[in-house]
């Protein structure tokens, strides 16, 4: 059974594999970092956050310094969907941002035939209500 984890990632519990929700491509073991199965594009942060001041006149331009900031984009190798973007320091390994206890997840979904698409039969989230006024 496939359990959605993010907008573009799910885990196939039978095989314990990460999969792309757009094309179904297997991305690797759900016990590992899903980013290991994705294509990585390192972007120059100045392409995304263009300088607000003229860099020939000012040292600091309100644009990230590529010596201190790296932007990594992670794409599905099957369909090219942008799965994740992370801001990090240059040379740092991709951040392991999602770590799933696969055994607990399998136990939780034990006996269910499939993930409910409409969520109509799942309990609604409880909303917090209080009388505080700001």
Predicted local distance difference test score (pLDDT) of residue 134: 45
Query: Helices (DSSP H) in 5-86: which residue ranges?
Result: 45-48
Indicate whether 117 pLDDT > 70. no
Structural domain boundaries in the chain: 2-108
Q: Per residue in 53-76, pLDDT tens?
A: 998 999 888 889 999 999 999 999
- Arithmetic mean of pLDDT, 108-133: 60
Q: Which SS3 state, helix, strand or coil, does residue 24 take? A: coil
Predicted local distance difference test score (pLDDT) of residue 121: 53
Q: What percentage of the chain exceeds 70 in pLDDT?
A: 84
106 falls in which pLDDT band (50, 70, 90)? very high
Query: How many residues would you count in the chain?
Result: 134
Is residue 70 within 8 A of residue 55, CB to CB? The reply is: no
């Amino acid at each position: 059974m496939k359990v959605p984890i993010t907008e573009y990632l799910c885990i196939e519990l039978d095989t314990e594999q990460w999969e792309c929700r757009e094309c179904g491509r297997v991305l690797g073991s759900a016990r590992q970092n899903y980013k290991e199965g994705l294509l990585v594009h390192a972007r120059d942060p100045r392409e995304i956050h263009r300088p607000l001041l003229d860099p020939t006149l000012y040292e600091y331009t309100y644009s990230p310094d590529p010596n201190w900031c790296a932007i990594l984009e992670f794409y599905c190798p099957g369909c090219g969907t942008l799965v994740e973007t992370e801001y990090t320091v240059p040379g740092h390994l991709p951040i392991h941002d999602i770590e799933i206890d696969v055994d607990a997840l399998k136990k939780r979904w034990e006996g269910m035939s499939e993930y409910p698409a409409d969520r109509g039969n799942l309990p609604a989230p409880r909303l917090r209500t209080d009388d505080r006024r700001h």
